[in-house]
Each structure stands twice: as structure tokens, then as C-alpha cells.
């Protein structure tokens, strides 16, 4: 749906616990439940969300009145999904490239997740660009994209719509031009693998990183140049059979993410895809900042800010967000 996106709430207990710890909030299953409940029930959030990605723990949790979260979300018109992958494994001999584990018994878990109310899944395959060490290697690209294709096929066989997430990190010194070349290579490998595996392409969704220069790139770029680079990558590799892409935030701030997404939608022309958001940190870190020095979640205040953030993200997904000067630019990093 144009103008609607995905709220990514699939951080595991340790990851979300680290974010809680950073602002002085204790980490327990009950605190995590209260926090996710706020993300699902904030007044008006359903106007800007089409789906929510849940951690398996959250899939089985209930609201204060005893309603399972997948049921609550479905009633609000928000499709519940789940993160089925497990842990990252370093590929030997690749200078640090990784693959995600979890394909073994994936079909069994998908059956259980569907029965619990999930209707889609999201698998993340993280990659890092390092021009000095030659990462990501061809081996890592092929292994990760084959895994994403196999995951997608298994999900579809069990009734879940797969979101495939080739997540290229913002870290590094690479230029925007180098990022474009490498991301085209990654995405082309992904879509070929999906087709080779027999994945039904219109029944799957892409969750890509926003194509950016490395955080420490010494060359500066405007938000318009970054937007044009992203549309070029999609035009070079993204099948028209897949109806949309929901970009991850990947360490970008809300201001950066909304500026770049809005700029993309302004310059995409007659491109056939719906370009929207699937954000976690960009939405959640400002919420948790409210809790600093308070010792507990400030749920009412957080809920109001959350909906305001979603309004901005929605406007960006429509190409209607007017960003402040410099918000989406990459500022050259110098020693």
C-alpha cells in the first residue's frame, strides 16, 4: 500500500536488551512485551503500517487483555511476520565474510510460525564492503544469495510470504560508485538464485539497504545523488514482477532515512515499484532516548513520538517529505 511501511520489531532479547541498557532500562521478557505492545497499539500507527516483523518470542506474547499479538495486529490491519533465521557464522578464508544460519529445520519452524499467526517472514544476510580485503568475496555473495533463495522457496511452500534482505553495511570508506557496482552484483546474484530455485517472484518482497557511500568515505554526495544511485541499482537488477522494496535503515538516523527515501520517490519517475520503509533503529532509538535517566519505559510519550515518526516515514514513502538542507547528504570524512 502506497504510503505504508513495515515496523521492524524483530530484535532478539540480547539486542533489544543492549538498547535498553544504554538508556538505563532493565531487560526482562515482561519489559520487552510492554515495549512491543506500545509499538503495536500506539494510536493511529495502523494508518502508516502495512506489516510488523516480530521476533519469535513476541509472536507468542499477549497484550494486557490477553490477546495474542498476531491477532491484535491483524485486527488493526497490520500483517504480522516473523524473523526465522538464527546466528551469523564467519566463512573461513574470506577475510571476515559471513553467512546466516538457520536453514536446517526451517520448514518445521515456518509451519509453527504460520500456525501462530505469522503470514510472512524476513531473512537477513549481512555483507560488508571492504575494498582493501576484497569483501564481500564472490563466495560470500553466492553463498548468501543462494541461502536467501532457498529460504524464500521454503517459506512459500509453508504459506509464508518471504522478504529477502541482502543487508550491506554502512561501514567502510568505499565511494557511492563502488557501492553501486557491488550492490548490483549482489542483487543480480540474488534474483537469479531466486528464479533458479523456482521462487514465485510476485509473491516475495525485497528489503534492501539504501545504497550509500561508506560512513568514512572521503567523498561527499548530495541526497539527490544518493537517490539517483538507488534508482539506478533497482533499474539495473530488480525484477518488475516484484512489486515493491521496503528499505532498511541500517544505522541511518530518521532524518537521513526519510530524506533519502523521499528523494528516491521523487526521482523514480515511471519505475513500477512501491518504495517504502522497514525500519527498526531509525524509529526506535529516538523513542528509547526518552527513557534516559528515568529508569523505566515512558510508554505514553514514546507512543506519541512513534506515530509522529511514522507520519514522516509515510510521507517519505510517498515522495512528499520535505527534508531540511543537508539531512540526506553524505558529508566527506577527512582525517
Tell me, rounded to whole angstroms, the distance of Cα 333 from its chain centroid. 26
- 188 vs 79: CA distance, rounded Å: 28
**What confidence score (pLDDT) does residue 39 get?**
98
**What confidence score (pLDDT) does residue 93 get?**
87
Strand partners, 79: 51
* Ordered per-residue pLDDT tens for the chain, 335 residues: 899 999 999 999 999 999 999 999 999 999 999 999 999 999 999 999 999 999 999 999 999 999 999 999 999 999 999 999 989 999 998 999 999 999 999 999 999 999 999 999 999 999 999 999 999 999 999 999 999 999 999 999 999 999 999 999 999 999 999 999 999 999 999 999 999 999 999 999 999 999 999 999 999 999 999 999 999 999 999 999 999 999 999 999 999 999 999 999 999 999 999 999 999 999 999 999 999 999 999 999 999 999 999 999 999 999 999 999 999 999 999 87
**What confidence score (pLDDT) does residue 67 get?**
98
What is the phi/psi pair of residue 275, to 5°? -110, 115
User: Could you give the residue numbers annotated as active site?
Assistant: 165, 207
**What confidence score (pLDDT) does residue 335 get?**
72
- 258 vs 311: CA distance, rounded Å: 10
Q: What is the pTM of this model?
A: 0.96
Residues in contact with 194: Cβ distance below 8 Å, sequence separation at least 6, in sequence order: 148, 149, 152, 164, 201, 204
Amino acid at each position: 500500500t502506497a504510503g505504508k511501511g513495515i515496523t521492524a520489531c524483530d530484535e532478539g532479547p540480547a539486542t533489544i536488551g543492549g538498547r535498553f541498557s544504554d538508556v538505563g532500562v532493565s531487560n526482562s521478557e515482561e519489559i520487552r512485551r510492554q515495549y512491543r505492545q506500545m509499538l503495536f497499539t500506539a494510536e493511529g500507527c495502523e494508518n502508516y503500517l502495512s506489516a510488523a516483523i516480530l521476533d519469535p518470542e513476541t509472536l507468542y506474547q499477549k497484550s494486557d487483555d490477553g490477546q495474542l499479538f498476531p491477532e491484535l495486529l491483524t485486527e488493526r490491519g497490520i500483517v504480522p511476520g516473523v524473523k526465522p533465521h538464527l546466528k551469523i557464522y564467519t566463512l573461513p578464508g574470506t577475510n571476515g565474510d559471513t553467512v546466516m544460519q538457520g536453514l536446517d529445520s526451517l520448514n518445521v519452524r515456518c509451519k509453527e510460525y504460520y500456525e501462530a499467526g505469522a503470514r510472512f517472514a524476513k531473512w537477513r544476510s549481512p555483507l560488508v564492503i571492504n575494498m582493501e580485503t576484497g569483501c564481500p568475496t564472490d563466495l560470500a555473495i553466492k553463498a548468501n544469495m543462494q541461502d536467501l533463495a532457498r529460504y524464500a522457496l521454503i517459506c512459500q511452500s509453508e504459506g509464508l510470504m518471504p522478504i529477502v534482505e541482502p543487508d550491506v553495511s554502512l561501514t567502510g570508506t568505499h565511494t557511492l560508485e563502488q557501492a553501486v557496482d557491488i550492490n548490483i552484483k549482489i542483487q543480480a546474484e540474488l534474483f537469479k538464485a531466486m528464479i533458479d530455485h523456482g521462487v514465485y517472484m510476485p509473491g516475495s518482497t525485497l528489503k534492501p539497504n539504501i545504497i550509500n557511500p561508506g560512513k568514512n568515505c572521503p567523498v561527499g554526495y548530495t541526497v539527490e545523488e544518493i537517490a539517483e544511485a538507488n534508482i539506478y541499482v533497482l533499474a539495473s537488477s530488480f525484477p518488475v514482477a516484484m512489486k515493491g522494496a521496503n528499505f532498511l535503515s541500517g544505522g541511518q538516523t530518521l532524518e537521513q532515512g526519510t530524506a533519502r527515501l523521499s528523494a528516491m520517490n521523487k526521482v523514480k519517475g515511471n519505475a513500477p515499484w512501491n518504495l517504502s520503509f522497514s525500519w527498526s533503529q531509525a524509529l526506535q532509538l529516538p523513542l528509547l532516548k526518552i527513557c534516559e535517566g528515568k529508569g523505566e519505559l515512558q510508554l505514553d510519550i514514546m507512543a506519541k513520538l512513534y506515530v509522529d515518526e511514522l507520519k514522516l516515514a509515510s510521507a517519505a514513502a510517498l515522495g512528499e517529505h520535505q527534508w531540511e538542507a543537508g539531512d540526506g547528504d553524505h558529508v566527506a570524512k577527512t582525517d
